[in-house]
Amino acid sequence: MVNAHDLLWGMTPAHLPADAPAWVLEAIDAGHPVVVRRAVTEPAQVAVGIRGRLREQRFAALMPVAAVQRRVAPEDLRQVLSSRDIPALRALDQLRPVLAQHHWGVSGSAGFELASGVEALHVMSDLDLILRTPEPLDRFEARALLAKLDTAPCTVDLQLQTPFGAVALREWAGVSRRVLLKTSSGAHLVLDPWQAVA
C-alpha cells in the first residue's frame, strides 16, 4: 500500500512515455526516487511525479507496482539528520519536539533530500510536512499548531492528511468556511475535510 508523498525506487526509463524530456531520463538514470502523487490509476500502477533539478521540472508518470524496489514514507524521515545548515533543516530540528506527540512526516524537497542524499533544498526553500489526522483536528487546535510552526526560520507548509485527502493546515486554521481538499479525483471545496466528497 503506497500513499501520496511516499518516495519509491525502481522506476526505469522503460516505464516512461516516449515523449519524456531528457531531464526526466537523467533523473531516472541517476537512481533518484519518484514521489507518489494523488490520481486515480489501475490497481497495478501507481501515479508518480519525477523531480528535476529546477523547481519547474516536474513530470507526471505511471509506475508499475511490481517495479517498486524500495519505499520510504514521510514518517520514516522524522529523525533523519543532515549536516547541511540551511533554514528548512534548522526549522525541522526546531519542530521535532513540537510535533513529537503527533503522527507526522517530512515531504517535499526536504523529504526528497533526506531520503536520497540528493541536494534539493536551497536557502529560500519552504519546509513541507504532513500530519496524519484520521480524526478531525478542530480549528482552534489548528490555529495553535500553526502559531508554533510560524516561529520556525522558514515558511512551513504542513498538510493535514485526512482519510479523504489533504488540506493545508494554514487554510484549515484560517477563517474561510470552505477549504480545498486534494483528493485522488481532484481538488474540492469542502466544509469538512473529514467527510467523504459526495
Q: What angle is formed at CA 130 by the lines to CA 129 and CA 131, rounded to 5 degrees?
A: 130
Q: Is 128 a catalytic residue?
A: yes
Cell representation of residue 136: 478531525
Handedness of CA 60, 65, 67, 71 (dihedral sign): positive
User: Is residue 29 annotated as part of the catalytic site, yes or no?
Assistant: no
Of 29, 126, 150, 192, the catalytic one is 126
Distance from CA of residue 69 to its chain's centroid? 20
The region, left, alpha or beta by phi > 0 then psi within -120 to 50, assigned to residue 24 is alpha
Q: Which residues contact 190 (CB under 8 A, 6 or more apart)?
A: 178, 179, 180, 181, 197
Point out the catalytic residue in the list 93, 128, 138, 150: 128
Strand order in the sheet with 156-162: 104-106, 127-132, 156-162, 165-168, 179-183, 186-190
Please name the residues in contact with 103: beta carbons below 8 A apart, sequence gap of 6 or more: 75, 131, 132
Q: Which helix H or strand E contains 95, and what residues bound it?
A: helix 87-99
Q: Which residues are catalytic?
A: 126, 128
